[in-house]
């Protein structure tokens, strides 16, 4: 208990020191008790760093979050995808959060590598350089490795010391705050704040195991190996562990260096087109795409190929959503709104009782204004956002993977247009979407897919009695309003809720004592 209370104490202190507590109180309907606690901390600790600033509250809060470190940067980035919770203005500001922190020492980095890889592997690393980039979770060093007698230039990504421990302590404390808010303000229950924080915890813990990022990069490389003009760096598995990731060093020019690219006679118009087409190809063809394709993560290598880095955030789409995405985008290109409406209904994305003509009319209200705009103002990502807003009125349940794709599409389009402001998003997208839709409708391809699915079903036949028994157990649990113990995520979340419930009353008293102690001491 004392440990959790102390973590809450440190979080409140960070909020006060950065002046974020005052902004939170002003911006949101903070429960009375929490308001008192935050005000007490502000009196004790606030430096008023931002009071003289002319920045908006949203900009001040964003700046404060940046100062508070890893957990808050990750929370801010995650909340930027949830304007339904925090509002459009704050969401836009949080998108600008820079995932950068001062580096830790090279000696510390070497110790982590040696501990994770062992003496023999560590001894085959040469010219281990100073950090060249430092983010909230990890930092990157340039080095060379002896790979079966061949010297290779590599980038070594290393987790920050004790980052997992610090993050999990702070995120558990924030989950308790979310629990208190939900219980004190009934109207916040619909926002599912506990689930939001819990999901962030799961996502970030995956990101803090660099073996997952290595696996993602490896899968991405396999998917794109035949894509001309696109290159994913090689992973060196012998030099990779939970806290260390080693991959090819990229000699290239950052996409953001437009003038340098032009001086090297690189056709930036083609590059801008290729970026969009590659992204769409990965999304609809593979169902697996790079979900953090900003300028800092894209390079043009010495062979003129687009080379992405940082595979910590990847997006997945199932067959249904890939089909949905391709059909609606192509439908908008053709201005066939009824077709797009029918796709929604056939795919089960809206209820069957929705009037197809009314839905088509609503979709037309999105599409037609777009075609009246100049090429520079047309955005596929913004179209998808408008689409989700409109179809929500027809009881469409928007899937998180589609939201992630929409966010990424906006970023990709922005990168392309910085290279070439006249990039025509629709003309660029059309051949990729048209080709994929044609291939998926091809009878030979459909037959092959059906046979593949049938084979998988046949493999499961011997297990059918077990599957039926488990299904019966699951239905029994559901009928009684319980969650099966086998459901790990749900079980973990429920355990957290029970833990927080028992901790609630004790924590309030303890927090008050800690606050007054803090006021006296500091």
Cβ atoms of 200 and 168 closer than 8 Å: no
Q: How many CA atoms lie within 13 A of 344 on its CB side?
A: 31
Rg, the chain, Cα only = 26
Identify the pLDDT of residue 77.
Answer: 77
Cβ atoms of 396 and 387 closer than 8 Å: no
pTM of the full structure = 0.72
Q: How many CA atoms lie within 13 A of 107 on its CB side?
A: 0
Q: What phi and psi, each to the nearest 5 degrees, are found at residue 135?
A: -105, -175
Cβ atoms of 178 and 163 closer than 8 Å: no
Cα-Cα-Cα-Cα torsion 347, 350, 355, 359, nearest 10 degrees, comes to -90
**Alpha-helix runs per DSSP H in 282-336:** 319-334
**Alpha-helix runs per DSSP H in 282-399:** 319-334, 337-346, 356-371, 380-392
Distance from C-alpha of 154 to C-alpha of 11, rounded to nearest angstrom: 38
Residue owning tokens 């609503």 = 362
**Residue 292 designated active-site:** yes
Which is the catalytic residue, given 172, 227, 248, 292? 292
* pLDDT tens for the 522 residues of the chain, in order: 566 667 767 777 666 666 666 666 666 666 666 666 666 655 555 444 444 456 676 777 777 787 777 888 888 877 776 666 677 677 777 777 767 788 999 999 999 999 999 999 999 999 999 999 888 889 999 999 988 889 999 999 999 999 988 888 888 878 877 777 777 766 666 667 777 788 778 878 888 899 999 999 999 999 999 999 999 999 999 999 999 999 999 989 999 899 999 998 899 999 999 999 999 999 999 999 998 888 889 999 988 999 999 998 888 888 878 887 788 777 877 888 898 888 888 777 778 888 889 888 988 887 777 665 555 566 666 677 777 777 667 776 656 667 778 778 888 888 898 899 888 777 888 888 888 888 876 544 444 444 444 444 444 445 555 545 554 554 444 444 444 444 455 566 666 666 665 555 555 545 544 544 444 444
Identify the pLDDT of residue 103.
Answer: 92
Question: What is residue 291's three-state secondary structure?
Answer: coil
Distance from C-alpha of 395 to C-alpha of 349, rounded to nearest angstrom: 9
Structure token pair of residue 202: 């799961």
Domains of the chain, CATH where assigned: 2-99+187-204 (no CATH), 100-186+205-249 (3.30.200.20), 251-441 (no CATH), 445-479 (no CATH)
Closest residue by Cα to residue 416 from 405, 429, 404, 403? 429
Cβ atoms of 317 and 287 closer than 8 Å: yes
Q: What is the 3-state secondary structure (H, E, C) of 179-227?
A: HHHHHHCHHHHHHCHHHHHHHHHHHHHHHCCHHHHHHHHHHHHHHHCCC
């Amino acid at each position: 208990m004392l440990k959790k209370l102390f973590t809450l104490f440190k979080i409140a202190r960070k909020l006060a020191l950065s002046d974020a507590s005052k902004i939170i109180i002003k911006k949101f309907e903070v429960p009375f008790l929490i308001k008192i606690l935050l005000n007490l901390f502000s009196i004790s600790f606030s430096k008023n760093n931002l009071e003289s600033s002319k920045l908006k509250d949203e900009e001040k809060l964003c700046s404060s979050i940046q100062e508070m470190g890893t957990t808050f940067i990750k929370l801010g980035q995650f909340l930027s995808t949830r304007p339904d919770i925090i509002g459009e203005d704050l969401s836009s500001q949080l998108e600008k959060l820079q995932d950068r922190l001062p580096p830790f020492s090279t000696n510390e980095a070497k110790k982590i590598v040696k501990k994770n890889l062992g003496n023999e592997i560590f001894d085959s690393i040469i010219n281990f350089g100073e950090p060249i980039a430092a983010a909230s979770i990890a930092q990157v060093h340039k080095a060379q490795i002896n790979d079966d007698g061949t010297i290779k230039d590599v980038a070594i990504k290393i987790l920050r010391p004790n980052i997992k421990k610090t993050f999990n302590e702070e995120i558990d404390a924030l989950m308790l705050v979310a629990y208190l808010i939900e219980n004190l303000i009934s109207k916040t229950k619909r926002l599912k704040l506990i689930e939001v924080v819990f999901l962030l915890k799961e996502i970030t813990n995956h990101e803090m195991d660099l073996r997952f990022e290595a696996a993602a990069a490896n899968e991405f490389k396999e998917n794109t190996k035949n894509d001309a003009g696109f290159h994913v760096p090689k992973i060196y598995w012998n030099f990779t562990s939970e806290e260390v990731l080693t991959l090819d060093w990229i000699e290239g020019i950052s996409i953001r260096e437009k003038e340098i690219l032009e001086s090297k006679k690189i056709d930036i118009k083609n590059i801008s087109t290729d970026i969009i087409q590659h992204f769409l190809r990965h999304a609809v063809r593979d169902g697996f795409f790079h979900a953090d394709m900003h300028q800092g993560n894209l390079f043009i290598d010495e062979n003129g190929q687009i080379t992405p880095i940082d595979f910590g955030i990847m997006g997945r789409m199932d067959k249904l959503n890939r089909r949905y995405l391709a059909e609606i985008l192509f439908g908008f290109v053709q201005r066939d709104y009824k077709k797009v409406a029918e796709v929604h209904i056939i795919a089960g994305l809206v209820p069957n009782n929705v009037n197809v003509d009314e839905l088509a009319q609503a979709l037309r209200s999105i599409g037609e204004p777009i075609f009246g705009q100049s090429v520079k103002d047309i955005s596929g990502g913004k179209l998808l956002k408008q689409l989700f807003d409109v179809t929500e009125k027809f009881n469409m349940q928007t899937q998180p993977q589609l939201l992630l794709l929409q966010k990424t599409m906006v970023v990709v389009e922005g990168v392309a247009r910085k290279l070439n402001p006249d990039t025509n998003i629709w003309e660029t997208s059309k051949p990729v979407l048209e080709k994929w839709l044609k291939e998926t409708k091809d009878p030979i391809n459909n037959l092959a897919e059906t046979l593949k699915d049938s084979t998988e079903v046949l493999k499961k036949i011997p297990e059918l009695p077990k599957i039926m028994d488990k299904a019966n157990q699951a239905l029994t649990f559901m009928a009684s309003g319980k969650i099966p113990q086998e459901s790990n995520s749900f079980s973990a979340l429920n355990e957290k809720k029970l833990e927080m419930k028992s901790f609630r009353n004790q924590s309030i008293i303890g927090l008050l004592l800690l606050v007054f102690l803090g006021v006296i001491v500091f």
